[in-house]
Amino acid sequence: MHVLLTGAAGFIGEHIHEALLAAGHDVTAVDALLPSAHGSAPRRTSRVTTVDVRDPDALDEVMVGVDAVCHQAAVVGAGVSMADAPAYASHNDLGTAEVLAAMTRARCRNLVLASSMVVYGEGRYRCPTHGIVRPRHRQPSDLRNGVFDATCPEGGEQVTWETVDESAPLEPRSLYAASKLAQENYALAWSLATGGTVTALRYHNVYGDRMPRDTPYSGVAAMFRSSLESGEPPTVYEDGAQMRDFVDVRDVAAANVAALDRAGEGFVACNVCSGHPISIGDVARILCRAHGGGIEPTVTGQFRPGDVRHIVAGAVLADDVLGFRAAIGPEEGLTRFAFAPLRAASDGSAPVV
């Protein structure tokens, strides 16, 4: 299969590129090489062509003969300020719309879309009295007083988290989340209009080799790594009991390869996760232990407005639809990640339109 891979020079994109080639696919790899992601002097390779997916003429050139598109190109991170909003809308939403238009012109009918768990907002919760509920938004006054757990919106009871499946309500709470949901909506509309196949992969917390070093837009695993390399304890927000799913980038790449072979038309969204819930505090402790011991995480009680308390993925649908199961658990993967090579830090600048 001839695959167009966008965002091919990124952390996840590089791993997908390698997995596609290993699976025998012919790959056309493109990337805009944005300074906010790659620095002012990005590493260039002959395997990747510089293309901004917002450029329809450039897309038409690289779309010739393509059977499927694996669309990874996006501005990532939650967004440091609302001033970042135009960049997210431009690169993620307009970029995806241009990719879909180019696919239509080229009569290409198979799209694998990089989405994210952030489209869910808060995870799934059960109240002992009222069953499954959507908890109230956590209030800054409670967070300042160390009250981090969500409560039932009906009676105020303590609620417990459950895994989130793909039918859960979608409630994006950041610029990035809003843009990822918009990408899914554009892709769904395209699928309905053209009869094309869309597989939206909702990545959970991805980590692994060649992850970017600490920037304001990095994931927490890279931030913990950066602290340890500086001889400092990782800083854990709240009480460290926030539950997540951390998935190794090699498993994410395998999910993309599996998605290209999905049978049938239409839109489907699948969680891509390890299937093994883990707390943020335990992620920090595993990395500290693997890094040689002697350092313990610092649990600060600080918080970031808009952060969700728990979000843990259900892994069933990806197995049923794609035949995909993650092969690497968090203990194994994070232990390896403690000394995995990372990307050189970018300049940490905000994304620009």
Task: Establish whether 176 is a catalytic residue.
Answer: yes
Give the span between the Cα atoms of 70 and 62, in whole angstroms. Answer: 13
Give the span between the Cα atoms of 89 and 258, in whole angstroms. Answer: 29
Give the span between the Cα atoms of 36 and 285, in whole angstroms. Answer: 30
Residue 110 · residue 5 · CB < 8 Å:
no
Tokens 């970031």 map to which residue? 304
Q: What is the CA radius of gyration of the chain?
A: 20
Q: Which of 88, 120, 125, 176 is catalytic?
A: 176
Which residues, at least 6 apart from 124, have a Cβ–Cβ distance to it below 8 Å?
132, 161, 162, 163, 164, 165, 168
Residue 348 · residue 37 · CB < 8 Å:
no
Burial class (CB in 10 A: 0-12, 13-18, 19+), 117: buried
CA angle at 288 for the pair 242 and 253, rounded to the nearest 5°? 70
Residue 96 · residue 186 · CB < 8 Å:
yes
Catalytic residue numbers?
176
